Amino acid sequence: MDIQHILLPFVAFAAFFVKAVSGFGPALVVVGIGSVILPPHTVVPLSAMLDATAGAILLFMDPVAGGRRYWGPLALVIVAGSVAGGILLSLISPELFRLVLAVTIILLAVWFTFFRARSSESDLSTGLPSRASSGDLAAVLAGGLMGGLFGISGPPVLWHFARRLAKRALRQVLIPVFLAAAIARVATYAGTGLVDQSVLLYYCLSLPGLLLGIYVGNKVFLSISEKTFSRVIGLILLAAGLRLLVLG
């Protein structure tokens, strides 16, 4: 058995512990660490397949209270934004935008860590609206565009929803929306032939770590306060921003 076979379940555990606690962020771990032990053309589709699987499990564990009328349009819009971002990536040079995005993410990390963490839980809604507003749709469209361009779609979605939603309601938005984006990426990679036998093998090897990460992460999610939740998301965002800033 090769070293990557042994390490992958541990990488998956870390990634989907983060996913269960925050609702987003597994690609930072899977791609960031996985690319050290696997080729990029293998780890990127692997990350998307694992993210889609984890999203489906978490959605089953914690169904969205607002129903399909709320998150359905959001999911469709983020998929459309992801496709548009992918097209833009082939037409423009993303270096300047990547720098701007990195700084934006770092500022958002600071806001989560020091300002949202001070918010009273009574200031945040524990439920979702019955229908998505134009602002909700604009936020996920921006997230989709960023995801297509840079592989990171969370910042505008987090900024928009985290200002008014408590942690469970926020996760209930993030899970189905990012699940739709992950499914779109898996379909794209499968269509271009990137999902081959080696990716399927690594996917199977990663599943035990994914399942354990979701189980433990969900336990932590249910027990932490809003303040701790905000600081955890702040740390994840800071890692994402610094990765873009340093590695490009």
pLDDT at 4 over 80: no
Q: What pLDDT digit, counting tens, does each position of 215-241 carry?
A: 999 999 989 988 888 898 888 888 878
Please tell me the distance from the alpha carbon of residue 173 to that of residue 23, in angstroms, as a whole number: 8
Q: What pLDDT digit, counting tens, does each position of 115-131 carry?
A: 887 776 677 888 877 78
Q: How many domains does the chain have?
A: 1
3-state SS assignment for residue 125: strand
Domain of residue 131, residue span: 3-247
pLDDT at 214 over 90: yes
Report the largest interatomic distance among the alpha carbons of the chain, rounded to a whole angstrom.
52
Q: What pLDDT digit, counting tens, does each position of 152-197 carry?
A: 777 888 888 888 888 888 888 888 888 988 888 888 888 888 889 9
CA dihedral sign of residues 105, 109, 115, 121:
positive
What is the pLDDT, as a whole number, of residue 185?
Answer: 83
Lookup: tokens for 78: 């983020």
Q: Assess contact for 233 and 19: CB atoms under 8 A.
A: no
Residues 6+ apart with CB under 8 A from 68: none
Please tell me the distance from the alpha carbon of residue 162 to that of residue 209, in angstroms, as a whole number: 28
- Under the banding of pLDDT at 50, 70 and 90, the label for residue 208 is very high
* In the chain, alpha helices (H): 3-22, 26-37, 40-61, 68-89, 95-114, 134-150, 154-162, 167-191, 197-223, 226-247
Q: Could you identify the residue written with the tokens 């969370």? A: 154
CA dihedral sign of residues 11, 12, 17, 18:
positive
- Under the banding of pLDDT at 50, 70 and 90, the label for residue 150 is low
